[in-house]
Amino acid sequence: MNTVIKVEKLVKEYKGLTAVKGISFEVKKGEIFGLLGENGAGKTTTLEMIEGLRKPTSGEISVLGHNVRNEISEIKERIGVQLQSSAYYNYLTLKEILSLFGSFYTESLDPDDLLKMVDLEEKAGATVNNLSGGQKQRFSIVASLVNDPEIVFLDEPTTGLDPMARRNLWDIITKIKAKGKTIILTTHYLEEAEMLCDRIAIMEKGEILMMGKTHELIESTKNPFKTTFIATSLSKETLKELEGLGEVNELAGKSHHFEMMLKTQVNLNKAIKIVQKLEPESITVGRSTLEDLFIELTGKRIGGE
Amino acid sequence: MKKLLLADIKMLLRSKQTLFWSLMFPLMFTFIFGSFFGKGNNSVGTVALINESNTELAKSFDKAARDSGIFTIKDDINVEEAKKLIGKDQLSGAIVIPKGFGEQKPDAPKNIKVVYDPAGQAGRTLIGFTNQFLTAANLEIQQAKPIFSVEEEKTNTKQFGYFDFILMGLIGMALMNSSIQGMSIAMSKYREDKILKRLTTTPLKVWHFIAAEVTSRLLVNVIQVTLILLVGFYMFDAHINGSIFLIYVLALLGALLFQSIGFVIAGLSKTTNAAEGMSTAIAIPMMFLSGVFFPIDQLPKWLYSIVQYLPLAPLLRTMRSVALEDASPFANPSNLILVIVWVVAALIIAAYKFRLADE
């Protein structure tokens, strides 16, 4: 597969702060690449340097074979950018905004077709102020598609949305990918990254902690197996027995609610047998998630909002 | 570029705030000042004339007062009522000609009484007028000719009144308010909403964006100036002695100046609120200190020596000399030069300070 974005030893320093500390990665044509991390991890700064909005302190970026430093106007014609919490003109209708933004490019798509793609055709004559949060975000994404770009940049596309609106947006992002476009997005929702991204880079404090195909990353965790159960009669002896097989944690908040992380299938089978003897109220068995990997890497849960 | 310009014009005309501040607000002022001072109205107020005498002298005073045009006369009122009305600011003053005034008798009353509120404006004018009449009457009775007199020489033969003076001031005020506030608030709002940043992700050239913003606002300024002039001309009989075309040219030069100041403010302020506060803090004092409503040479000397250089002041001086005296804008080039210096200075600071998005 062709490489469409190549980032090498990228550094961004602000006065007294290094926001991005020499990261390198590549994005391949047609994939969804996710930059995952907490607020302040350097995701947006990285994205904005690739978009040409911020100047890197050092390092090289090439997008579609052009160097960001001196060929940014060629790049801008062929990329679409959705900014984090950006607004649009208040006194223009959605259709007028799309047609205006289209006029900035040598070629552009029909505003009606674009609005139809995100189910906003009925809002064509409305202004941005009259849209709900989810509609605004859908509009913001479709506005980044006016020039039929080859690469689409989405900066936290679902932040602040309710679960329904978020799923709706995932569908739209999948549709964009299906058109053969490359998508690079940032998110701090682990399930979103797990659901959407072909490959991810986990960022923390300006560095990439881990990068790879999403499923391979999850499988590479120390404890890829997982079981959760509710047992009221867990004796100290049984607990010790279980701890010999893997990590046992009592979940904060709920009582008698345990989670167990295990290295091997064999240990998992043994553990389930022990738990079943306790006649648990509930038992579920599964694989570890991206969140488990994240906790393992950073020693903490990612901030919800 | 054409599409962007059209979109910018559309947005300006759809914004109620723009419409109010750049069109309604100056028109309101024009209407208010026109009602007071328009139609060649030089009256200092309404004055009660209580004439209790029947003599020739009293009659001729009566006639002179009515014909002077300096005040509007109110009849059929007695002294007590007049005093009450003066107290309520419903009358500017009263002139009382006592019974028997002007009769050729030794005990006939010799004084005309002028009643006024010292806090009001009209008192001095009333006394001056009465004095002048009585002096002339004294001379005539003594059959004397005045030895000393005033020779009048007007530096300017054109006809204009206070309203004509203020009309140019109102145009300047309208240009200043809509351009400084309009541009600075719009730009900082666009920046706060990240619209500017969003634009920089497209191939749109920065100068195209700025040119469209500036041009669309200049078009609103043309509408603005036209409306003020129309209201001034047709409702309140304003006179413009010079070239209307030159007035438009100067107005647009002024608009450019204030738009550049708007960009400077947007560059200096971090938020829309700050931009709003800063532009009000600049525009309001400038409105009073640059001679919108009254000539600034009445100010204390030290203050005048500063405020004469404020951007609006030389602009108004040039516009007035063109509009009122039909002078060439180059007749007193220092004014025009000062305006251009301000434009250049503001543009340099704006270019240095104003950024579409932060680094």
**Alpha-carbon distance B292 to A108, whole Å?**
49
**B136 and B227 within one domain:** no
Residue at B237 is within a domain: yes
Predicted pLDDT at A130: 92
Residue B41 has pLDDT above 80, yes or no: no
The DSSP string of B47-93 is EEEEE---SHHHHHHHHHHHHH-SSEEE-S--HHHHHHHHHTTS-SE
**B221 and B327 within one domain:** yes
**Alpha-carbon distance A262 to A274, whole Å?**
14
Predicted pLDDT at A216: 87
Most confident of A24-38, A266-280, A287-301, B115-129: A24-38
**B110 and B167 within one domain:** no
Q: Report the predicted TM-score, pTM, of the whole model to 2 decimal places.
A: 0.80
**Which of A215, A243, A260 is where one domain is finished?**
A215
The mean-pLDDT minimum among A261-275, B73-87, B255-269, B301-315 falls in B73-87
Q: Is the ipTM of this complex over 0.95?
A: no
Mutation site, B194, B202, B206, interface A, largest A CB count within 10 A? B202
Helix, strand, coil percent content, chain B, rounded in steps of 5 = 65, 5, 30
Please check whether residue A285 touches B, CB under 8 A: no
Nearest to B22 by CA among B7, B12, B10: B12
Residue at B223 is within a domain: yes
**B292 and B272 within one domain:** yes
The interface residues of chain A toward chain B in range 49-108, judged by CB-CB distance below 8 A, are 51-55, 73, 76-77, 79, 81, 83, 85-92, 96, 99-101, 103-105
**A231 and A85 within one domain:** no
Predicted pLDDT at B42: 60
- Contact status, residue A120 vs residue A12, Cβ threshold 8 Å: no
CATH number at residue B127: 3.40.1710.10
Predicted pLDDT at B67: 82
Predicted pLDDT at A44: 93
**Which of B141, B174, B195 is where one domain is finished?**
B141
Long-range contacts (CB closer than 8 Å, 24 or more residues apart) made by A122-125: A123/A94, A124/A93, A124/A94, A124/A95, A125/A93, A125/A94, A125/A95
Name the more confident of B355 and B208.
Answer: B208
Mean pLDDT of chain A: 90
With 0-12 / 13-18 / 19 or more C-beta atoms within 10 angstroms meaning exposed / middle / buried, residue B62 is: middle
**Alpha-carbon distance B173 to A87, whole Å?**
32
Residue at A304 is within a domain: no
Mean pLDDT of chain B: 88
**B282 and B197 within one domain:** yes
Nearest to B49 by CA among B85, B73, B68, B79: B73
Residue B155 has pLDDT above 90, yes or no: no
**A210 and A226 within one domain:** no
**Alpha-carbon distance B243 to B262, whole Å?**
29
Give pLDDT tens digits for A31-76.
Answer: 999 999 988 899 999 999 999 999 999 999 999 999 999 999 999 9
Confidence of residue B239 (pLDDT cuts 50, 70, 90): confident
**CA nearest to B199 within chain A:** A101
Query: Domain range spanning residue B179?
Result: 2-38+161-353
Query: Domain range spanning residue A235?
Result: 222-287
Confidence of residue B195 (pLDDT cuts 50, 70, 90): very high
The DSSP string of B238-281 is ----S-HHHHHHHHHHHHHHHHHHHHHHHHH-SSHHHHHHHHHH
Residue A174 has pLDDT above 90, yes or no: yes
CB contact under 8 A, A91 and B15: yes
CB contact under 8 A, A100 and B203: no
**Alpha-carbon distance A256 to A230, whole Å?**
5
pLDDT average, residue stretch B321-334? 87
Residue B40 has pLDDT above 80, yes or no: no
E strands along chain B, which residues?
46-51, 72-74, 93-97, 113-116
**Alpha-carbon distance B283 to B289, whole Å?**
10
Residue B44 has pLDDT above 90, yes or no: no
Q: The sheet that has A246-250: what strands, in order across it?
A: A246-250, A257-262, A225-230, A282-287
Determine the 3-state secondary structure of B198 from DSSP. helix
User: Which of B10, B197, B202 is nearest residue A104 as measured by Cβ atoms?
Assistant: B202
Residue at A299 is within a domain: no
Q: Is the dihedral of CA A273, A276, A278, A282 positive or negative?
A: positive
CATH number at residue A88: 3.40.50.300
Between β-strands A182-187 and A151-155, what pairing exists: parallel, antiparallel or unpaired? parallel
Long-range contacts (CB closer than 8 Å, 24 or more residues apart) made by A107-110: A107/A147, A107/A148, A108/A146, A108/A147, A108/A148, A109/A145, A109/A146, A109/A147, A109/A148
Confidence of residue A250 (pLDDT cuts 50, 70, 90): confident
Q: What is the CA radius of gyration of chain B?
A: 27
Q: What is the DSSP letter of B175?
A: H
**A31 and A152 within one domain:** yes
**Alpha-carbon distance B143 to B56, whole Å?**
17
Residue at B22 is within a domain: yes
Tell me how close the Cα of A104 comes to any Cα of chain B, in angstroms: 5
pLDDT average, residue stretch B160-188? 91
Name the more confident of B123 and B284.
Answer: B284
**B278 and B168 within one domain:** yes
pLDDT average, residue stretch B167-185? 93
Nearest to A59 by CA among A35, A24, A33: A24
Q: What is the CA radius of gyration of chain A?
A: 23
**Alpha-carbon distance B14 to B17, whole Å?**
9
Interacting residues of B317 by C-beta distance below 8 A, sequence separation 6+: B291, B332, B335
Residue at A294 is within a domain: no
Predicted pLDDT at B237: 84
Residue A288 has pLDDT above 90, yes or no: no
Give pLDDT tens digits for A196-232.
Answer: 999 999 999 999 999 999 888 888 888 888 999 998 8
**A132 and A202 within one domain:** yes
Predicted pLDDT at A305: 37
With 0-12 / 13-18 / 19 or more C-beta atoms within 10 angstroms meaning exposed / middle / buried, residue B352 is: exposed
Residue B348 has pLDDT above 60, yes or no: yes
**CA nearest to A91 within chain B:** B11
- Contact status, residue B235 vs residue B31, Cβ threshold 8 Å: yes
Nearest to A244 by CA among A258, A256, A262: A262
**Which of A215, A237, A265 is where one domain is finished?**
A215
How many distinct structural domains can be found in chain B?
2
Predicted pLDDT at B156: 65
Predicted pLDDT at B151: 82
Residue at B90 is within a domain: yes
How many distinct structural domains can be found in chain A?
2
- Here the tokens at position B290 are 């640059």
Mutation site, A83, A99, A136, A144, interface B, largest B CB count within 10 A? A83
Q: Distance between terminal CA atoms of chain B?
A: 26
Predicted pLDDT at A294: 83
Predicted pLDDT at A304: 44
User: Which of B15, B193, B202 is nearest residue A101 as measured by Cβ atoms?
Assistant: B202
**B104 and B60 within one domain:** yes
- The label of the residue with tokens 């607020």 reads A39
Element (H, E) at A34: strand A32-36
**A283 and A143 within one domain:** no
Confidence of residue A292 (pLDDT cuts 50, 70, 90): confident
**Which of A215, A244, A266 is where one domain is finished?**
A215
Residue at A39 is within a domain: yes
User: Which of B193, B199, B357 is nearest residue A87 as measured by Cβ atoms?
Assistant: B193
**A226 and A207 within one domain:** no
Tell me how close the Cα of B215 comes to any Cα of chain A, in angstroms: 17
